[in-house]
Structure 1
Amino acid sequence: MKKKEVTIYDLAKELNFSPSTVSRALNNHKSIGKKTTKEIHKAAQRLGYRPNSIAASLRSNKSKTIGILIARINSPFMSTLISGIEDTARKANYNVLISQSNESYENEVNNAKALYDSRVGGVIVSLAMETVDTSHFKQFLDKNIPVVFVDRVPKEFNSYRVVIDNYAAGYRATKHLIDQGCTRIAHFAGSQHVNVYNMRKKGYIDALTENGIELDEKLIISLKTMSSTEGWEATEKLLGMSNPPDGIFSSNDSAAVSAIRCAKERGVKIPEELAIIGFNDDPVASIVEPSLSTISHPARRMGEISALRILEHSKENLGTSVSEITMLDTKVVVRNSSKRNP
Structure 2
Amino acid sequence: MTYQPPYTLTSDIVSLVAAIAEQVGRLSLLPEQGLDLRLRRINRIRTVTGSLAIEGNTLSEEQITALLEGKTVLAPPRELQEARNALLVYEHLSSWGGSNETDLLAAHRLLMTGLLDHPGQYRASGVGVMAGDKVLHMAPPANRVPVLMRQLFGWLGSTREHPLIASSVFHYEFEFIHPFADGNGRMGRLWQTLLLSRWQPALAWLPVESLIHQRQAAYYQALNDSTAATDCAPFIQFMLTCIRQALDGLTPQDTRQVTPQVEAVLAVMRGEMTRHEIQIALGLADRENFRKVYLLPALATGLVEMTLPDKPNSRNQRYRLTVLGHQRQKMEPRTP
TM-score when normalising by structure 2: 0.29
**Structure with the higher fraction of residues in helix conformation:** 2
Larger radius of gyration: 1
**Structure with the higher fraction of residues in strand conformation:** 1
Higher relative contact order (Cα pairs below 8 Å, separated by 6+ residues): 2
